[in-house]
Amino acid sequence: MFNFQTTLGKAEFENPIFTASGCAGSGKELSQFFELNQLGAVVTKSIMLKARSGRATPRMAETPSGMLNSIGLQGPGIDLFLENDVPWLRDQGATIVVSIAGESVEDYAVLARKLRAVPGISALEVNISCPNVENRGQVFACHPETARAAIEAVRRNIGGELPIIAKLTPDVTSIVEIAEEVVAAGADGLALINTVLGMVIDTNTMRPKLAGKTGGLSGPAIRPIAVRAVYQVHAAMPHVKILGMGGVSSGQDAFEFILAGASAVSVGTATFGNPMAAMKIKEELRAELISHGFDSLREAVGYAHRSEGGN
Amino acid sequence: MGINSNAKQVIAEIVSNKKVGSYHHMVFAVGEIANAAKPGNFVAISVGGESSQLVLRRAFAIYRTFDRGASGGLLEIVVAPHGAGSAWLANQQPGAKIDLIAPLGTAFGIPTEPVRALLVGGGYGSAPLFGLSDVLKNRGCRVDMVIGASTAMKIYAPLDGKRSVSSLTITTEDGSTGKTGKVTDVLREIITSNEIDIVYSCGPMGMLEAINNITEEFNLVHQCSIEESMACGIGVCMTCVLPIKGDDGQIRMLRSCIDGPVVAGERVIWNAKRTIPEGTWGAH
């Protein structure tokens, strides 16, 4: 019997296919197409302290094998989110990973305190790398000190055993350095990677296409960057669990992340093209693992790192 | 009721694909979806095939649907092959299998009483208005229609569509057919002489805004089908938002795929133009 179960920190999941933060709406939109409890976990949109309008439109530009977005973390704020979204997801029997984002270290501390006693949450994704903020200085994951401060604030305030997964950006000189810093600060796992900062210029208007000028690039175009990041971090810290993501659109893509060292894989942009993408990828990954002779997902995690002499 | 609770993802066969002026009129065998679709709803279609670098669906207003009983329903759209995705779709031949999701979004509101309606379409934006016209006529409404485009080749007005309206006025900017000018040049006269009660519109945002200025002048109800760059069409990506005023007077960034595409024109903050209007919920 093939074992598809996985863990991130102390949290256990029935299968390794998650949604990616910001790519599953409130969950209700996708529930029209499949039952959310079939996912390893629903990773919620990154929720902030207060309601947020997000950035002006246009927010989206399609690019070769990908897209640029500048949503700017539109959302209802943590209080309404806890009142409406989390209970609804719980009612669906979904495994829930709540993603949070703050504008200051104090925001992260307050968000963690608001979440510490909420039942039915399996893990916390701490998004310290959203590229769609007006001030690049707010991208905590760009600097070791700010990355550490944000994760420490969550660790100190979350209490209990809720695993913390720090979401990092590849837009740094050394993602390993940032990863080591947040693990030292108390992160149990890492979400790799957030979107890559990019821009499209409209050649008709001869101005940046997005109202926010820059946006986050996602989709298959960034997959090799993501696989590289997962591989590098897993090589440096093989004991740290990784939630891999970036352009996963098939089981083979997901398998690549597992081989690089991810224990679970998030599906993001692929869902925009196909609401059933996560379900398709889950079955394809299972078949992929079995066809390569693995009895469990766990055996395959980081398999690409084995020595040259191995099989 | 859930979000898009009638929506289904199906692999639909192309039944026909005919070039009409600058456009392609395409018919898909969609089964029961045809029954659920209402005028104003849209369909999200996967383009480019398996190895495509086009990762996002394309949204098309539904032109018409037919329920053919046991043999299944038909869904029709009008495609303007502007970009790589729509050009790929327009090139697909009958028999090809297409991945589509429908019906999506809001529908045009239908008055409970027989009123005098004016339908205004820009370019292939006229397509969903013909299906709407049929529904309004069945309710006893008088239906006048205005279709405008830059040139004759871009006017979409099929014969059977023309039969479904009481009057049809065509405008082109280059004067190649109909009256020379824009749709908005003829609206005031039609609204006055035909004692119009309600205006429905579908077309480019600039045109909808100009129409809305006129409906506000006459204090008329205006239902318009809006558009904004969209990645998913099913409400998950949050890219297609527009500032829209709610019942409570609060402006919110609402998804044109879920809270639209059909919205009340008076609720749209038309002059936002690449900004978040002051007072929008969550603005900072």
Phi, psi of B18 (to 5 degrees): -125, 140
Q: What is the fold of A6-54+73-195+220-305?
A: TIM Barrel (3.20.20)
Nearest-angstrom CA–CA distance, A186 and A280: 34
Q: Is A22 helix (H, G, I), strand (E, B) or coil?
A: coil
Does residue B63 surpass a pLDDT of 90?
Answer: yes
B275 contact residues in A (CB cutoff 8 A): 56, 211
Strands (E), chain B: 8-20, 23-29, 42-45, 58-67, 73-79, 97-104, 116-122, 142-149, 167-172, 179-180, 198-202, 221-225, 241-245, 251-255, 262-264
Name every residue in B having a CB less than 8 A away from some CB of A: 2-5, 7, 9, 46, 53-57, 99, 101, 228-232, 234-242, 252-253, 258, 272, 274-276, 280-284
CATH topology of domain B116-272: Rossmann fold (3.40.50)
| CA pair distance B67, B82, nearest whole angstrom | 30
CATH architecture of the domain with residue range B8-104: Beta Barrel (2.40)
Q: Which of A54-63, A166-175, B114-123, B159-168 has the lowest mean pLDDT?
A: B159-168
3-state SS assignment for residue B26: strand
Q: Using 50, 70 and 90 to split pLDDT, how confident is the model at A1?
A: confident
Residue-wise pLDDT tens digits, B214-247: 999 999 999 999 988 899 999 999 999 999 999 9
| Cβ proximity of B89 and B26 under 8 Å | yes
Query: Which residue from A56, A69, A249 is facing B274, i.e. has the nearest CB?
Result: A56
Contact B46 A58 (CB under 8 A): no
Q: State residue B159's pLDDT score.
A: 82
Q: Which tens digit of pLDDT belongs to each residue from A267-296?
A: 999 999 999 999 999 999 999 999 999 999
- Among A303, A191, A26, A34, which Cα is nearest to B7's? A34
Rounded Cα–Cα distance for residues B240 and A29 (Å): 15
Of residues B4, B275, B282, nearest to A51 (C-beta): B282
- Per-residue pLDDT at A226 exceeds 80: yes
Phi and psi for B52 in degrees, rounded to 5?
-70, 150
* Nearest chain A CA: its distance from B141 CA (Å): 35
Q: State the span(s) of chain B assigned CATH 3.40.50.80.
A: 116-272
Adjacent-strand bridge partners of B97 = B13
The CB density around residue A310, as the number of other CB atoms within 10 Å, is 7
Question: Nearest CA of chain B to the CA of A178: how many Å?
Answer: 28
The residue of chain B nearest to residue A134, with distances taken between CA atoms, is: B284
pLDDT at A283: 98
| Comma-separated ranges of CATH 2.40.30.10 domains in chain B | 8-104
Enumerate the residues of chain A whose CB falls inside 8 A of the CB of residue B241.
Answer: 54, 57, 59, 74
Interface of A with B in 181-200 (CB under 8 A): none
CB B76 within 8 A of CB B63: yes
Tell me the shortest Cα–Cα distance from A55 to chain B, in angstroms: 7
Across the interface, whether the CB atoms of B53 and A274 are under 8 A apart is answered no
* pLDDT score of A131: 79
Could you state, in order of their start, the residue ranges of all structural domains in chain A?
Answer: 6-54+73-195+220-305
Beta carbons of B228 and A52 less than 8 Å apart: no
A138 falls in which pLDDT band (50, 70, 90)?
confident
Chain B residue with CA closest to A52: the answer is B282
Q: Name the minimum distance, in Å, from the CA of A97 to any CA of chain B.
A: 17
pLDDT at B1: 55
Task: Give how far the C-alpha of residue B282 lies from the chain's centroid of Cα atoms, to the nearest Å.
Answer: 29
Selected for mutation to probe chain B from A26, A53, A89, A99 (highest B CB count within 10 Å) is A53
Per-residue pLDDT, A7: 97
pLDDT of residue B4: 86
CA B249/CA B127 separation, integer angstroms: 32
Chain A residues touching B102 at Cβ < 8 A: none
Q: Do A59 and B282 touch (CB under 8 A)?
A: no
- SS3 for A269-307 is HHHHHCCCHHHHHHHHHHHHHHHCCCCEHHHHCCHHHCC
Averaged over B78-103, what is the pLDDT? 97
Tell me the chain A residues in contact with residue B238 when contact means C-beta distances shorter than 8 Å: 22, 25, 45, 54, 59, 71, 74
Of B4, B9, B239, the CB nearest to A71: B239
Q: What residues in B contact A29, CB-CB < 8 Å?
A: 3-4, 234-236, 258
SS3 percent helix, strand, coil of chain B, rounded to 5, is 25, 35, 40
Give how far the C-alpha of residue A200 lies from the chain's centroid of Cα atoms, to the nearest Å.
Answer: 24
Scan for tokens 């934006």, then name that residue. Answer: B125
Nearest partner of A10 among A233, A191, A181, A164, judged by Cα: A164
Cross-chain Cβ contact B274/A61 below 8 Å: no
Q: What is the pTM of this model?
A: 0.96
CA pair distance A4, A173, nearest whole angstrom: 34
Residue in chain B nearest A26 by alpha carbon: B236
Mean pLDDT, rounded, for B97-109: 97
Please judge whether B9 and A50 are an interchain contact, meaning their C-beta atoms are less than 8 angstroms apart: no
* pLDDT value at residue A82: 97
CB contact under 8 A, B236 and A28: no
Q: Which of B171, B189, B43 is nearest to B104 (CA)?
A: B43
Residues B222 and B212 sit within 8 Å (Cβ to Cβ): yes
Do the chains contact at A66 and B55, CB–CB below 8 Å? yes
Alpha helix positions (H), A52-205: 78-80, 86-91, 105-115, 144-158, 175-184
CB contact under 8 A, B232 and A271: yes
How confident is residue A108, by pLDDT bands cut at 50, 70 and 90? very high
pLDDT at B80: 96
Chain B contact present for A80, CB below 8 A: no
Residues of A known to be catalytic: 130
Q: How does residue A130 score in pLDDT terms, banded at 50, 70 and 90?
A: confident
The string of DSSP codes covering A135-177 is -GGG-GGGSHHHHHHHHHHHHHHH-TT--EEEEE-S-SS-HHH
- pLDDT, mean of residues A117-138: 86
